[in-house]
């Protein structure tokens, strides 16, 4: 199949991200897109890539994706500048020349066309494979608005292409399939300015005032028309004391809105980051002993094919939603669910390659278990089932993070400082893959009837736990934003004792 037209020519993008996600996003664009000129500024990662837009739009650590129009030095207004002078400086510094805007909007239109073409191909292949189209009445689907949204995007692309004159634009930027034989319509492109100002400029002018000034200037420069309600093109402008950034969003919905997840739990970007830290390899067995609706394992399964995923939870309601998510993501052959207590895991010792777990904070979802009191026993079980060289990744509240550090200090297991580590890097050797099939067989043989109480142990798997956390070596602690509060990612590797 032919590669998209954007393949082979460098395009400059930027992505926004949640606090703490920057190392994951930087690593991802370099690893997946062979990105060049990667830099990070105030909540955004800028990069150039020749990868097709279909690959760029599949970034997992990013919140939103933009085509970069310009990155410039900050707009600084002299003291006591009158309004007319200030408007002139703003328009001159932010807008630049007409050719730059004409070229940028055609690049944006081309990328939109490639995304639309890919969506049509995907829908057609799914319909052919299934014989019928997928149900459209799925309740709670996170990406349920994509079909209507995609149609609107397709129409917008056509309008922008016909509404923009050919003067000053590069015709090679358009796919042949998108070029219509009739001449362009004289109608102008409609746009809306979305402006965010910080620093000294925000103390003199409101964001609405700055947006209006830039909008008036853009209309004069290009002949485009402002439309605040239903524009064909949105222009995002970020002005701070450090830089001036202008770009066009490439998708209406955030990249963090996953089309393959029906019911959301943990934010998808954070779930993906946890799976990334686990350094999953082909043939691994990965377990989430408190899986909830299964978000972490589903994100991991999207990245890794030849891996066995096992999710456990004591809550029937959560398991029901997790099962719906597994079916919706079509992962039934690789992801299995089991009702079990995290304090008595129905698994033989040393049979799991990676454990990932978001321990409940007690805010979004209530829990009857006192997590601080139960943490030693829960972690002892996780340590027991891990094989030597296996990875443990935990998401903890700041309070539980402090409890864990105290536990580790008591056991004298090594440094517990907040050392940073690049995602995807590990100082310890990965576990051997030669015994994976044997481990999977042992797990299947060892699973018994699920317990009904948190304190009930599964039959046939009675064991005397080792000294808690005695073999876990700390690798990294990373702070991430979860919205209202922060969470801390802890990574450990099980050592041979």
Q: Does 276 lie in the same domain as 238? A: no
Specify if 480 maps to a domain.
yes
What's the domain count of the chain?
2
Least confident residue range of 174-183, 242-251, 303-312, 488-497: 174-183
Point out which residues pair with 244 in neighbouring strands. Answer: 72, 239
pLDDT computed for residue 122 by the predictor? 55
Least confident residue range of 64-73, 320-329, 466-475: 466-475
pLDDT computed for residue 6 by the predictor? 46
Q: Does 336 lie in the same domain as 244? A: no
> pLDDT grade, residue 177 (50/70/90)?
very low
Element (H, E) at 492: strand 486-494
Among residues 194, 220, 249, the one where a domain terminates is: 249
pLDDT at 463 over 50: no
pLDDT computed for residue 123 by the predictor? 52
Q: Does 272 lie in the same domain as 145? A: no
pLDDT at 181 over 80: no
pLDDT computed for residue 79 by the predictor? 73
Task: Report DSSP letters for 307-348, one per residue.
Answer: -EEEEEES-HHHHHHHHHHHHHTT-TTTEEEEE--TTS-SS-
Specify if 275 maps to a domain.
yes
Specify if 383 maps to a domain.
yes
Q: Please write the tens of the pLDDT for every residue from 74-111.
A: 998 877 778 888 889 999 999 999 999 999 999 999 99
> pLDDT grade, residue 33 (50/70/90)?
very high
pLDDT at 42 over 80: yes
pLDDT computed for residue 153 by the predictor? 52
pLDDT at 475 over 70: yes
What mean pLDDT comes out for the span 177-204? 69
Q: What is the mean pLDDT of the chain?
A: 79
Q: Does 207 lie in the same domain as 104? A: yes
Q: Does 314 lie in the same domain as 215? A: no
Specify if 24 maps to a domain.
no
Q: Does 290 lie in the same domain as 226? A: no
Specify if 25 maps to a domain.
no
pLDDT at 130 over 80: no
Q: Which residues contact 412 (CB under 8 A, 6 or more apart)?
A: none
Specify if 215 maps to a domain.
yes
Q: Does 287 lie in the same domain as 240? A: no
Specify if 93 maps to a domain.
yes
Single out the residue of 368, 364, 352 nearest to residue 297, CA to CA: 352
Q: 89: helix, coil or strand? A: helix
Q: Which domain holds residue 106?
A: 63-249
Q: Please write the tens of the pLDDT for every residue from 256-292.
A: 999 999 999 999 999 999 999 999 999 999 999 999 9
- pTM metric for this prediction: 0.77
Residue 4 CA to residue 111 CA, distance in Å, equals: 9
Q: Does 473 lie in the same domain as 369? A: yes
> pLDDT grade, residue 345 (50/70/90)?
very high
Among residues 197, 218, 249, the one where a domain terminates is: 249
Q: What is the CATH number of the domain that holds 470?
A: 3.40.50.150
Q: Does 278 lie in the same domain as 240? A: no
Choice between 434 and 333, residue whose per-residue pLDDT is larger:
333
Among residues 249, 283, 313, the one where a domain terminates is: 249
> pLDDT grade, residue 314 (50/70/90)?
very high
pLDDT computed for residue 424 by the predictor? 40
Q: Does 331 lie in the same domain as 473? A: yes
Element (H, E) at 36: strand 36-41
Q: What is the CATH number of the domain that holds 83?
A: 3.30.2300.10
Specify if 273 maps to a domain.
yes
Q: Does 366 lie in the same domain as 306? A: yes
Q: Does 272 lie in the same domain as 244? A: no
Q: Please write the tens of the pLDDT for every residue from 198-236.
A: 998 888 889 999 999 999 999 999 999 999 999 999 999
């Amino acid at each position: 199949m032919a590669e998209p037209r954007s393949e082979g020519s460098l395009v400059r993008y930027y992505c926004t991200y949640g606090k703490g996600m920057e190392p994951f996003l930087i690593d991802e664009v370099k690893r997946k897109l062979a990105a060049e000129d990667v830099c990070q500024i105030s909540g955004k990662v800028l990069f150039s890539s020749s990868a097709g837009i279909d690959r760029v739009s599949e970034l997992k650590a990013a919140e939103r994706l933009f085509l970069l129009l310009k990155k410039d030095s900050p707009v600084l207004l002299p003291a006591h500048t009158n309004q007319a002078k200030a408007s002139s400086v703003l328009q001159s510094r932010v807008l630049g020349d007409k050719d730059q805007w004409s070229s940028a909007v055609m690049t944006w239109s081309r990328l939109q066309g490639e995304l639309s073409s890919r969506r049509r191909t995907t829908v057609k292949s799914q319909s052919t494979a299934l014989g019928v189209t997928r149900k459209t009445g799925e309740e709670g689907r996170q990406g349920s608005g994509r079909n209507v949204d995609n149609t609107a995007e397709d129409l917008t692309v056509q309008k922008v292409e016909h509404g923009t004159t050919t003067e000053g634009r590069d015709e090679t930027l358009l796919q042949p399939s998108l070029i219509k034989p009739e001449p362009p319509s004289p109608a102008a492109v409609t746009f809306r300015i979305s402006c965010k100002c910080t620093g000294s400029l925000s103390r003199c002018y409101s964001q609405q005032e700055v947006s209006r000034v830039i909008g008036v200037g853009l209309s004069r420069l290009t002949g485009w028309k402002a439309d605040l309600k239903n524009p064909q093109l949105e222009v995002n402008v970020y002005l701070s004391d450090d830089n001036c950034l202008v770009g066009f969003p490439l998708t209406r919905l955030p990249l963090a809105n996953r089309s393959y997840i029906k019911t959301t739990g943990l934010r998808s970007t954070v779930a993906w980051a946890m799976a990334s830290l686990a350094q999953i390899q082909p043939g691994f067995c990965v377990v989430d002993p408190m899986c909830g609706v299964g978000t972490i394992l589903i994100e991991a399964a999207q990245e890794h094919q030849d891996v066995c995923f096992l999710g456990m939870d004591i809550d029937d309601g959560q398991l029901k939603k997790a099962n719906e998510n597994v079916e919706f993501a079509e992962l039934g052959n690789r992801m299995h669910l089991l009702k079990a207590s995290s304090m008595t895991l129905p698994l033989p010792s040393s049979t799991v390659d990676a454990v990932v777990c978001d321990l409940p904070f007690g805010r979004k979802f209530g829990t009857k278990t006192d997590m601080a009191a139960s943490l030693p026993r829960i972690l002892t079980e996780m340590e027991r089932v891990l094989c030597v060289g296996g990875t443990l990744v935990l998401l903890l509240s700041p309070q539980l993070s402090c409890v864990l550090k105290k536990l580790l200090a008591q056991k004298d297991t090594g440094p517990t400082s907040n050392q940073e580590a690049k995602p995807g890097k590990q100082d310890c050797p990965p576990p051997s893959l030669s015994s994976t099939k044997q481990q999977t067989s042992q797990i299947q043989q060892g699973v018994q009837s699920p317990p009904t109480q948190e304190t009930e142990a599964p039959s046939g798997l009675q064991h005397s736990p080792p000294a808690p956390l005695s073999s876990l070596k700390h690798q990294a602690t990373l702070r991430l934003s979860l919205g209202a509060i922060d969470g801390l990612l802890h990574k450990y590797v099980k050592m041979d004792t």
